[in-house]
Chain A
């Protein structure tokens, strides 16, 4: 099945997705990788209000990402909750 690639900032609350790639710089990438945003890791968007930062669940933890940061993380969309 062909899956859709979307930025985390474009995923509505409750969406499950797999991390596909990053479009930010090296340090940005490193910080996210360490927090568990590895390629293929499953994430759940816990709160996305359409503006401002979003909250993502990854490896049982919650991480807040600024809107600009969430834009740079591209994920493969799975089903919704």
Chain B
């Protein structure tokens, strides 16, 4: 097997479209990333909320458009991803579909292939993770499998960039070959053949282009809701008879899926050499801890702790270095250079722009640490174990383990977390998860807190941060239980989740994952942060350049009675909190602008800390951790719930929670005479 080398200097003569299909956890995204590298475009499927990735590469003077289809177990209309994948193949007619399967899970993975074959599209099978299969004592005879399926089979190890050249070449050869394909296809069991034939006859000539009548008939018999709706519309006359037939054969799906698996068993029987029984593989050994009811939780909390530790010990020093070695000197140099410019202009550049850009850039180390950790946990297969271990706790809120994943993502940023709730099929469970996401402290909030806590609490900073996080998560559970009981009447949804085999994470996949998330942050949040810190600067400058007389100060002073209830006697803290509505990290930018007038020598956090008692500091951190979601999060909540009502509910809910809890914390501290 040779390594794939991209050759972008060649001038392509023609172009083909290749779709990449595969079940979840087969290493499909690694194949995609290895083939396209940074030549990829990430967006959404038109009108859909599912991620759409395309990429390009040039091979033998052919430009290959690679489309990464959503990872799905089958092509039935069970989920939006499945509909997208099959619609793309049926309507866009890619020249070839590369189906990626995990050699260690061949039978289960071939189920999707059995469905792809029914779509009558040229297929190349990429037999991935042959190294993992070998470690388990499994051996797949490629030639035997190829002969049985009658489709090209290429063994690959995507994570080591082996065999990918051969795979893409096989796809190209298939696209350019004139020989009609005759792949082996699963057949339906004899007892259902007559009814399938009758349905096929009933719909003849009535199926809209570009659907195949054979496929439509089969999907009808499977009880596919989308295809049923389509036929009801397209063939209203035949529909009553079809409906009668379908209700008489409601259990046909059992036979069809059973038949497909029997066919798969025949295909792989001669091709797969099984290991001797009793062989304990790595997954079994690791799962003794990872899925253990007690040690699994310890491991999960330990991993979360390690991510925080890395944030403090690897990312924060870089953040501090950026600040002291780059931005403060830069601000000094610029203010000297602008000494003769109007005062407002110098202030705009130094306090507004450099401050804002600095804020954005100093977040990057934290985000890199965070997304790397998340990428590694996902790529190794650990996140599914975390979902399994957490399932019993999620049940209290009427949710299941699957909701844990988006909530966990919320630690990185609430925006991908809200979008990540798409993996939850049930609308109610999804809505509840979306409402709970803002209670997960995102990196931006954690960064603000970890920036301020050391100045407020010195050596106790890590403990206080940990307590704040635990506090947020406890509230999340309580709010979840309450919403589920009161609004959803205690309903519950199915928890069915594959637990993938463990494997060594792929650096490129994780690198690209981090890169794409950072890019999204810079594009969406970055611009907004710079913009807002400039606006905040303007509000703090207007009307006369004295911050104490500014528009913003007026608003802060007006809200001071409310602030006093939570121990915040300084209007600047209230203003900082208000601007965090636009973006959580603005708290720091605002404090920087409001406290940073003139002097640069003393650290901002220390200066803020000096004005607050420990109780007031704690109250400020609490309200910061719970305050209404940032504008970008609210925008995606609206996008994902498609409802202004639920979006408004989310904002009001969090506003109420943050005010009640922080006032409660301060008043309790006052009552106990602690930290006053």
A28 to chain B, nearest CB (A): 6
Count of CB-CB pairs between chains A and B under 8 Å: 109
B283 to chain A, nearest CB (A): 8
B324 within 8 A of A: no
Query: Which B residues, 378 to 404, have Cβ-Cβ distances below 8 Å to chain A?
Result: 384, 387-388, 391-392, 395, 400-401
Cα of A68 to Cα of B391 in the assembled complex, Å: 12
B residues in contact with A49, CB < 8 Å: 293
Q: Per-residue 0/1 for A9-51: is the Cβ within 8 Å of any B Cβ (1 yes, 0 no)?
A: 0000000000000001011111111111011110000010101
B499 within 8 A of A: yes
Cα of A53 to Cα of B496 in the assembled complex, Å: 9
A38 and B258 contacting across the interface, CB-CB below 8 Å:
yes
B359 within 8 A of A: no
B residues in contact with A41, CB < 8 Å: 261
B residues in contact with A34, CB < 8 Å: 73-74, 76, 78, 111, 257
A78 within 8 A of B: no
B253 within 8 A of A: yes
Instruction: Choose among B74, B291, B392 the residue that contacts A55 (Cβ–Cβ < 8 A).
Output: B291
A53 and B388 contacting across the interface, CB-CB below 8 Å:
yes
B68 within 8 A of A: no
Cα of A59 to Cα of B74 in the assembled complex, Å: 15
Cα of A43 to Cα of B413 in the assembled complex, Å: 39
A30-B78, A64-B388 known; A36 and B495 CB under 8 Å? no
B391 and A33 contacting across the interface, CB-CB below 8 Å:
no
A2 within 8 A of B: no
A59 and B108 contacting across the interface, CB-CB below 8 Å:
yes
Query: Which B residues, 470 to 511, have Cβ-Cβ distances below 8 Å to chain A?
Result: 492, 494-501
A64 and B261 contacting across the interface, CB-CB below 8 Å:
no
B40 to chain A, nearest CB (A): 29
B78 and A31 contacting across the interface, CB-CB below 8 Å:
yes
A63 and B291 contacting across the interface, CB-CB below 8 Å:
no
A40 and B258 contacting across the interface, CB-CB below 8 Å:
yes
B498 and A69 contacting across the interface, CB-CB below 8 Å:
no
Instruction: Choose among B74, B105, B392 the residue that contacts A61 (Cβ–Cβ < 8 A).
Output: B105
Cα of A59 to Cα of B516 in the assembled complex, Å: 35
A61 and B108 contacting across the interface, CB-CB below 8 Å:
yes
A69 and B494 contacting across the interface, CB-CB below 8 Å:
yes
Instruction: Choose among A27, A47, A53, A60 the residue that contacts B392 (Cβ–Cβ < 8 A).
Output: A53
Number of interface residues of B (CB under 8 A): 37
Q: Per-residue 0/1 for A54-81: is the Cβ within 8 Å of any B Cβ (1 yes, 0 no)?
A: 0100111111111011000000000000
A53 and B494 contacting across the interface, CB-CB below 8 Å:
no
What does DSSP make chain A's interface, helix, strand, loop or mixed?
mixed
Among residues of B, the one whose C-beta sits closest to the C-beta of A33 is B257
Cα of A10 to Cα of B388 in the assembled complex, Å: 18
B585 within 8 A of A: no
A59 and B107 contacting across the interface, CB-CB below 8 Å:
yes
Instruction: Choose among A28, A36, A64 the residue that contacts B497 (Cβ–Cβ < 8 A).
Output: A64
B residues in contact with A51, CB < 8 Å: 392
B620 to chain A, nearest CB (A): 39
B261 and A68 contacting across the interface, CB-CB below 8 Å:
no
B residues in contact with A66, CB < 8 Å: 391, 395, 400-401, 494-496
B170 to chain A, nearest CB (A): 26
A residues in contact with B261, CB < 8 Å: 36, 38, 41, 59
B104 within 8 A of A: yes
A residues in contact with B384, CB < 8 Å: 64
A53-B401, A63-B497, A64-B497 known; A33 and B392 CB under 8 Å? no
Instruction: Choose among A38, A47, A53, A68 the residue that contacts B257 (Cβ–Cβ < 8 A).
Output: A38
Instruction: Choose among B253, B293, B401 the residue that contacts A33 (Cβ–Cβ < 8 A).
Output: B253
A19 to chain B, nearest CB (A): 10
A63 and B498 contacting across the interface, CB-CB below 8 Å:
yes
Among residues of A, the one whose C-beta sits closest to the C-beta of B112 is A34
Among residues of A, the one whose C-beta sits closest to the C-beta of B272 is A60
A residues in contact with B495, CB < 8 Å: 53, 64-66, 68-69
Instruction: Choose among B104, B107, B254, B283 the residue that contacts A36 (Cβ–Cβ < 8 A).
Output: B107
A54 to chain B, nearest CB (A): 9
Cα of A43 to Cα of B315 in the assembled complex, Å: 46
Query: Which B residues, 388 to 439, have Cβ-Cβ distances below 8 Å to chain A?
Result: 388, 391-392, 395, 400-401
B223 within 8 A of A: yes
A residues in contact with B287, CB < 8 Å: 55
A residues in contact with B293, CB < 8 Å: 49, 52
Among residues of B, the one whose C-beta sits closest to the C-beta of A65 is B496
A64 and B108 contacting across the interface, CB-CB below 8 Å:
no
Among residues of B, the one whose C-beta sits closest to the C-beta of A27 is B78
A39 and B258 contacting across the interface, CB-CB below 8 Å:
yes
B496 and A35 contacting across the interface, CB-CB below 8 Å:
yes
B residues in contact with A58, CB < 8 Å: 108
A75 to chain B, nearest CB (A): 15
Cα of A15 to Cα of B582 in the assembled complex, Å: 55
Among residues of B, the one whose C-beta sits closest to the C-beta of A66 is B495
B380 to chain A, nearest CB (A): 15
Q: Per-residue 0/1 for B96-132: is the Cβ within 8 Å of any A Cβ (1 yes, 0 no)?
A: 0000000011111001000000000000000000000
B residues in contact with A31, CB < 8 Å: 73, 78, 494, 496
A36-B108, A38-B261, A49-B293 known; A64 and B391 CB under 8 Å? yes
A27-B78, A29-B253 known; A36 and B111 CB under 8 Å? yes
Cα of A29 to Cα of B252 in the assembled complex, Å: 12
B428 to chain A, nearest CB (A): 14
Query: Which B residues, 57 to 110, have Cβ-Cβ distances below 8 Å to chain A?
Result: 73-74, 76, 78, 104-108
A36-B107, A38-B258, A69-B496 known; A52 and B391 CB under 8 Å? yes
A residues in contact with B400, CB < 8 Å: 53, 66
A-B contact list, 19 entries, CB within 8 Å? A24-B494, A30-B223, A34-B74, A34-B76, A34-B78, A35-B73, A35-B498, A47-B291, A52-B293, A53-B391, A61-B498, A62-B283, A62-B499, A63-B497, A64-B499, A65-B496, A66-B401, A68-B492, A68-B494
Identify the B interface with A (CB < 8 A).
Answer: 73-74, 76, 78, 104-108, 111, 223, 253-254, 257-258, 261, 283, 287, 291, 293, 384, 387-388, 391-392, 395, 400-401, 492, 494-501
What are the 4 tightest A-B residue pairs by CB atom distance, in nearest-first order?
Answer: A66-B495, A52-B392, A62-B499, A33-B257
